[in-house]
Amino acid sequence: MAGGGSVRGVVACCALLLTGLVGCGGRPAPDSQTAAVQQVLDRRAAAVLDGNRPAFLATEAQRAGTAEFDNLRAVPLAAWSYRLTALHRSGDRASAVAELRYRIKGYDRAPVTAARELRLIRTGGRWYVSADEPAKKVPEQLWEQGAVETVRGAHSIVLGVGQPRDVLRTYADLADRSVPAVTEAWGTDWVGHVVVLVPRSLQGMAGLLGAQASGYRGIAAVTTGEAGGAGKAPADRIIVNPDAYAVLGDLGKQIVVRHETAHVATRAHTTAATPLWLSEGYADWVAYRGSGRTAREAAPELGRSIALGRVPAALPNDADFAFSRDPGALARAYEGGWMACRMIADRWGQARLNAFYRTVGDHPGRTGAVETALERVLGTTPERFTEQWRAYLRARLG
């Protein structure tokens, strides 16, 4: 399941806070120490990128960030930099906001960004970092939760904290099987690899999402990233909830990873115009494709509802996919979206399903997106499509 739009490359953009004398134009003159603080951040970034511990320690006031530096050692970084966006100074002490930008070598095509809040102390005319933390309401980074272990696959890289290496290898194996399966379904117009983050627990997952753990209890994994990146977004992160994932059987684990991989593949064509029934339904269609699971086996909640004569009147709306909903209602929303995509593939074919998905996502806005795609790609109307879907539910699940 996708990050639901709630976790999408969050960056805090703060106005530059300047102190000092007011110039003749009425604007505050730049703080003379801004350049000096940026320089220490540049040295800090170079030390992280080079894995140079002594150089990193030379930027630290109290060695407060040493553990995080050590936790990063196994992460293959292609880039790491800070851009100072705000500075407030009082004598030899300062607080700052900076944009951290980093890339994982071989996987991120553009930098991942995260806002950081820093505290600095000036001693002997030089600035040192005394604290480097996520900005308010910004998710944690994996290395802030512990030492990162890295496992590479043929089509994946798995970064984990507090997990045995052989467990991380199983995630890489699942991802390596998922990538070709997703490419066979969707096509080759995506990066063809995935980044999987495996924290220690549900709490760790919540920290990486900047969310409450209660909202993700029972959710095995989510995918974060910038929707509609059109090739410019960095690699998405598949973030695993190891607590929920552990109780799944082998097929369930494969379906979860394949579902999330499908979200990575379709990201550039998943936009604000794309309803969740389509994005989640398509990911489930890819995940179950070739699994041998029948409609009744894969959609038990919806099947039970239809057996009682309760056939949905309309396709699920976005609110139906909220993680906080009743588990049965949430399951019926996912199953309804999956059955809609399954119907398109059965009735119009896989190529038309893919074209429908792209056409909806490429529409300039939500209004009219599905209607236009139904007419142009499937030659039908929303009313006829809904009735066809309801009949399909009765035929396959009744």
Number of domains in the chain: 2
Higher per-residue confidence, 258 vs 27: 258
- For residue 109, tell me if it sits in a domain: yes
Give CA 135 to chain center in angstroms. 18
Statement: residue 358 has pLDDT above 70: yes
β-pairing, 112-123 with 93-104?
Answer: antiparallel
Predicted confidence (pLDDT) at residue 16 exceeds the cutoff of 70 = no
- Evaluate whether residue 135 is within a structural domain: yes
Query: What does the DSSP assignment read for 87-128?
Result: EEEETTEEEEEEEEEEEETTT-SS-EEEEEEEEEEEETTEEE
Asked which of 82, 113, 139 is the last residue of a domain, the reply is 139
Q: What is the pLDDT of residues 267-283, one digit of tens each?
A: 999 999 999 999 999 99
Mean pLDDT estimate for the chain: 90
In a domain, 234, yes or no: no
Q: Where does a domain end: 139, 162, 182?
A: 139
Confidence of residue 45 (pLDDT cuts 50, 70, 90): very high
Return the closest-CA partner of residue 397 out of 335, 315, 329, 330: 335
- Position 1 scores a pLDDT of 60
Q: Is residue 239 part of a domain?
A: no
CATH of the domain at 81: 3.10.450.50
Mean pLDDT in residue range 70-89: 96
Classify the C-alpha dihedral 196-198-199-203 as positive or negative. Answer: positive
Handedness of CA 184, 186, 191, 196 (dihedral sign): negative
CB neighbours (10 Å) of residue 126?
A: 12
Q: Which of 110-119, 274-283, 353-362 has the lowest mean pLDDT?
A: 110-119
Tell me which of 139, 164, 195 is where a domain ends.
139
Question: Is 3 part of a structural domain of the chain?
Answer: no
Is the confidence at residue 165, as pLDDT, over 70?
A: yes
Q: What is the pLDDT of residue 33?
A: 92
**Alpha-carbon span 325 to 166, nearest angstrom:** 35
> CB neighbours of 244 closer than 8 A, spacing ≥ 6?
202, 217, 218, 219, 220
Residue 343: pLDDT above 50?
yes
* pLDDT over 70 (residue 18): no
Query: What gap in Å lies between CA 3 and CA 260, rounded to an integer?
Result: 10
- Residue 279 falls within a domain, yes or no? yes
Q: Residue 65: give the domain boundaries.
A: 34-139
- Does 342 fall in a domain? yes
Residue 177's nearest CA partner among 256, 240, 241 is 256
Residues β-bridged to residue 82: 100
- CATH code of 304's domain: 1.10.390
Q: Is-contact 369 375, C-beta < 8 A?
A: no
Give whole-number Cα distances, 54 to 130, 251, 347, 380, in Å: 16, 47, 64, 66
pLDDT above 80 (res 207): yes
130 neighbors 121 (Cβ within 8 angstroms) = yes
Could you read off the pLDDT of 214-262 as tens digits, one per residue? 889 889 999 987 444 334 445 589 999 999 999 999 999 999 999 999 9
Q: Is residue 20 part of a domain?
A: no
pTM of the model: 0.88
Per-residue tokens: 40: 């220490």
